[in-house]
Chains A and B, each alone.
Chain A
Amino acid sequence: MRFATPASPLEVKSRKIPSAMEKKSWPKNNSDVCIRCATCMAICPVSRVTPKFPGPKQAGPGSERFRRPNEPSVDGWIDLCIGCHLCDMVCSSGVNISELNLIAKAKYLDERGRPFRDWLLTHSTLYGSLGSLFSPFVNYLLRNSIIKRIAEAVLRIDRRRELPGYESSTFKQWFKKRHSEGTRKVAYFYGCYTNANEVDVGKATVQVLEANGLEVILPPQRCCGIPMLGNGDFKGAEKMARYNVPSLLQTIRSGFDIIFSSTSCGHMIKHEYSHLLSIPGADEVAQHIFDIFEFLRNLKESNGLNTRFKELSLKAAYFAPCHLRALGIGLPALEILRLIPGLKIDPIEADCCGMGGTFGFKKEKYEISEEIGRDLAEAVDRLKPDIILSDCEGCRMQIRHLTGLKVLHPIQILRDALS
């Protein structure tokens, strides 16, 4: 029989792939193995709301057969793939449909050119600290309806979409003043949005880790590159990855694991850096980077989790972001939050929030984005929660936009239960 010697049966951590040989046996993205079973059509959030996108079966393996590297792209609708990965996850034949779509999208946009708007939406990392520095003024502008009208007319950023405001002090500035202490060290990849727009997510992550006896360090980092990648800008994404990987590698080789609180940044670094961008060293990084709740769940498995929670009498609804699901780690936030006494938490039954990172800001896609989100909003309506929790900043933006309810990262609630 074809059995290998087992790893330790109680092993919690992921194992490093031992040799380059095994890498060759990774599943290849072969569109010809598609049996056209249509399971992907059952799950696609975009083709469910618009006939403009033919759905993963046709857009991915179906069209792939007609694509030639030297011929111009004819995929006028490819830009409508929201990049949720849900199709990849249900394909029993192992076709990585969203990857086919992304490569086709990049080719299409390379040929047609990208609007300045796309550059602006994907490079918030460059102006994030400026936004924080002049936050009262910037936030006023971002909310001003005349400015939004102009942005819509000139840039085609939909004026119905709230633009995320900037906080007056960044997460990094907050952290600098803090003296983190613990018996063991972990590193934190906080991401641009936490740094400039939702600083409390970063604070909560640090506070929870410290409450578990861990000292937090911040390795040098830039944007993970997922906004660029999602817009088919492989070069832009690669630039970010080539900065982040050596920095994270150095941290890892000094003996520290890396934690992320944004599931989109996390998915990008853990899977796309290696698989799609082939960044040297990315495989090693992937073995040592963990979602914050995955990390806490590992602590729980080894009886190391601080569970001295106070009672929180709160009715919460939890939405699992697509990139969390694509990480293939289950729903660790839900598992941990269920340990908090008094907290009633129900999963929201919806497939995708419809935000798709920068997708939902674009005028030509806004209505699709909102229509996808409407299913989620209806599911929320049925649950009638006090508060909604989700691990992804894009999902939180969209859920706030659609429901008007308070939406937090689950780590903020966990911090509240610990303090």
Chain B
Amino acid sequence: MHFDLIIIGMGLSGLMAAKTAAESGKKVLIVGKGMGSLCLFSNTIDLLGQFPKAKKMRDGLSQWIKDHPEHPYSHAGPEKIVEALSSFLSLFPPPYSFQTIEEMNCLIPTSAGTLRPTYLIPMTMVGGTLIDEGRTLIVGFKGFKDFYALYVGDQLKCRGITLSLPGPLHDEITATALARLMEKKSFRENIGKEIKKQLREETRVGFPALLGLHHPITVKENLEEIIGVQIFEIPIPPPSIPGMRIFNRFKQWLIQEGVSFLPGYSVSKAMAKGRRCEGIEVLHPPVITSYSADRYILATGRFIGGGLKADREKIFEPIFNLPVPQPPSRESWFGTNFFSETPHPIHQTGILTNPSFQPVNEKGELTLENLWAAGSILAHHHSIDEKSREGIEIATGYMAAKNALEK
């Protein structure tokens, strides 16, 4: 089948590119495995968590762009970053919308009991930014191993309690099972009443982020009504329920808009003729299916998503075999200390692009005329340390599609 644009990668950058292209009425295919890092890391939208909380994001970002001319944000530019973020936000109208706290980074509690800076947060997490004020009760569930309320509470200087669940749920329960139960009124009411009973002078209750997959705000408001105080969600280890909410919303919207949504199988090969990509192949043994398009966007992520791979000697990009600038030898991939001050050199590797997000080689020459790249696979960012993952994905996914469709 032939498309105007094929996007390779199912993560946030690929989804943003697909949304952007669909809005301009193009025939779009998005193909890839998994859900990117959405159900791994993403609970909130980080833009640049690195600089102090007190600074307005606008100013911080301008300064960052001035200081880092090669950074993906600098290629996108401040206005386009704002445009991309509003495009993302338009997919999440109230009640489950995202907001900033006065256009600055805010600190939200995590399931490790630390405070973490982030930028856009869903309505269910707003209460967590106020954890310093008044008293908070942290609630966990017996059998749910990804959130220890007593530990989290201890770290955050709050009281923690662990609720016991009825019957067979007692032994072990997963985040998705709990999120599903939260959407059952009777379950929620029992939880709410039990917490109300155990509430002392606390004015706020923090839950692990699993207040329902489909209607988190209904769950939140209903629980607030029963307990009588504000409640909020605290991000937990994977799978991330808030990340799944983001993925599901994109998926629903894209299918509704007629985008060909092809999850499940990786692109096994790309075919080029001269300087143009002419098609891709998807291997689903024993069948290989080919698809072609006028333009392609590579948004396959770094190592976890399989966008970059490494063997004993080198790091490479498996689909187009694009040049990947990297440390000279394997010995220099990592610093000596796991928690070192500076990022590990391996986290610098990525695809070089020109300011239009088209992959180039070390000399700055285009590798393929009709290929763009977006998301964490790009070089010149340290999204882990910068706390910029989702911001980069949203901004570059948006810009890659805009640039690709302009040409």
Which residues on A are within 8 Å of B, measured CB to CB? 1-7, 9-12, 14-17, 23, 26-27, 35, 37-39, 41-42, 44, 47-52, 54-55, 88-94, 270-271, 274-275, 282-283, 286-287, 297, 301, 325-331, 334-335, 338, 346-347, 349, 375
Q: For residue B300, which residue of chain A has the nearest CB?
A: A92
B261-283 residues at the A interface, CB under 8 angstroms: 261-266, 269-273, 278-279, 281-283
Q: How far is the CA of A27 from the CA of B282 in the complex (A)?
A: 12
Q: For residue B178, which residue of chain A has the nearest CB?
A: A48
- Given A35-B304, A90-B33, A347-B255, residue A47 in contact with residue B177 (CB < 8 A): yes
Q: How far is the CA of A49 from the CA of B213 in the complex (A)?
A: 14
Contacts of A90 in B (CB 8 A): 33-35, 263-264
Shortest Cβ distance from B35 into chain A, in angstroms?
6
Contacts of B174 in A (CB 8 A): 41, 47-48, 51, 55
Complex partner residue of B288 from A3, A14, A49, A326, CB under 8 angstroms: A14
Task: Tell yes or no: B194 within 8 A of A by CB.
Answer: no
Contacts of A12 in B (CB 8 A): 1
Task: Tell yes or no: B173 within 8 A of A by CB.
Answer: yes
Q: How far is the CA of A50 from the CA of B252 in the complex (A)?
A: 26
Contacts of B367 in A (CB 8 A): 1
Contacts of B272 in A (CB 8 A): 1, 3, 6
Q: Are B271 and A7 in contact (CB under 8 A)?
A: yes
Task: Please report the total number of B residues contacting A with Cβ < 8 Å.
Answer: 59
Nearest 10 pairs of A and B residues by beta carbon? A89-B264, A42-B239, A6-B271, A92-B34, A6-B278, A38-B238, A9-B292, A283-B286, A3-B272, A274-B286
Complex partner residue of B176 from A17, A47, A301, A328, CB under 8 angstroms: A47
Contacts of A274 in B (CB 8 A): 285-286
- Some 24 contacts from A to B, beta carbons below 8 A apart, are A5-B271, A6-B273, A6-B279, A9-B292, A11-B279, A12-B1, A14-B287, A15-B289, A17-B286, A26-B283, A39-B238, A47-B176, A48-B174, A51-B168, A89-B264, A89-B265, A91-B34, A94-B33, A274-B286, A275-B286, A325-B264, A328-B284, A338-B258, A349-B252
Contacts of A282 in B (CB 8 A): 286
- Given A9-B292, A10-B2, A347-B256, residue A51 in contact with residue B271 (CB < 8 A): no
Complex partner residue of B306 from A6, A38, A92, A275, CB under 8 angstroms: A92
Q: For residue B252, which residue of chain A has the nearest CB?
A: A349
Q: Are B266 and A94 in contact (CB under 8 A)?
A: yes
Q: How far is the CA of A261 from the CA of B305 in the complex (A)?
A: 34
Q: Are A331 and B261 in contact (CB under 8 A)?
A: yes
Contacts of B286 in A (CB 8 A): 17, 23, 271, 274-275, 282-283, 286-287
Shortest Cβ distance from B358 into chain A, in angstroms?
16
Q: How far is the CA of A51 from the CA of B171 in the complex (A)?
A: 8
Shortest Cβ distance from A44 into chain B, in angstroms?
7
Contacts of A270 in B (CB 8 A): 287
Q: How far is the CA of A341 from the CA of B392 in the complex (A)?
A: 41
Question: Which of A14, A26, A49, A274 counts the most B-chain CB atoms under 10 A from its CB?
Answer: A14
Q: Are A7 and B279 in contact (CB under 8 A)?
A: yes
Contacts of A17 in B (CB 8 A): 286, 288
Contacts of A275 in B (CB 8 A): 285-286
Q: For residue A300, which residue of chain B has the nearest CB?
A: B1
Complex partner residue of B289 from A38, A297, A328, A338, CB under 8 angstroms: A328
Shortest Cβ distance from B216 into chain A, in angstroms?
15
B1-56 residues at the A interface, CB under 8 angstroms: 1-2, 33-35, 39-40
- Given A51-B169, A331-B261, residue A9 in contact with residue B287 (CB < 8 A): no
Contacts of B237 in A (CB 8 A): 38
Complex partner residue of B278 from A9, A325, A326, CB under 8 angstroms: A9
Task: Tell yes or no: B344 within 8 A of A by CB.
Answer: no
Q: How far is the CA of A349 from the CA of B278 in the complex (A)?
A: 34
Q: Are B262 and A328 in contact (CB under 8 A)?
A: yes
Question: Which of A2, A50, A52, A286 counts the most B-chain CB atoms under 10 A from its CB?
Answer: A2
Q: For residue B273, which residue of chain A has the nearest CB?
A: A6
Q: How far is the CA of A150 from the CA of B281 in the complex (A)?
A: 53
Q: Are A328 and B285 in contact (CB under 8 A)?
A: no
- Given A3-B271, A48-B176, A51-B172, residue A326 in contact with residue B264 (CB < 8 A): yes
Q: How far is the CA of A330 from the CA of B281 in the complex (A)?
A: 15
Task: Tell yes or no: B356 within 8 A of A by CB.
Answer: no
Contacts of B239 in A (CB 8 A): 38-39, 41-42
Shortest Cβ distance from A416 into chain B, in angstroms?
23
Contacts of B288 in A (CB 8 A): 14-17
Contacts of B315 in A (CB 8 A): none
Task: Tell yes or no: B203 within 8 A of A by CB.
Answer: no
Task: Tell yes or no: B260 within 8 A of A by CB.
Answer: yes
Contacts of A338 in B (CB 8 A): 258
Task: Tell yes or no: B114 within 8 A of A by CB.
Answer: no
Contacts of A328 in B (CB 8 A): 262, 264-265, 282, 284, 289
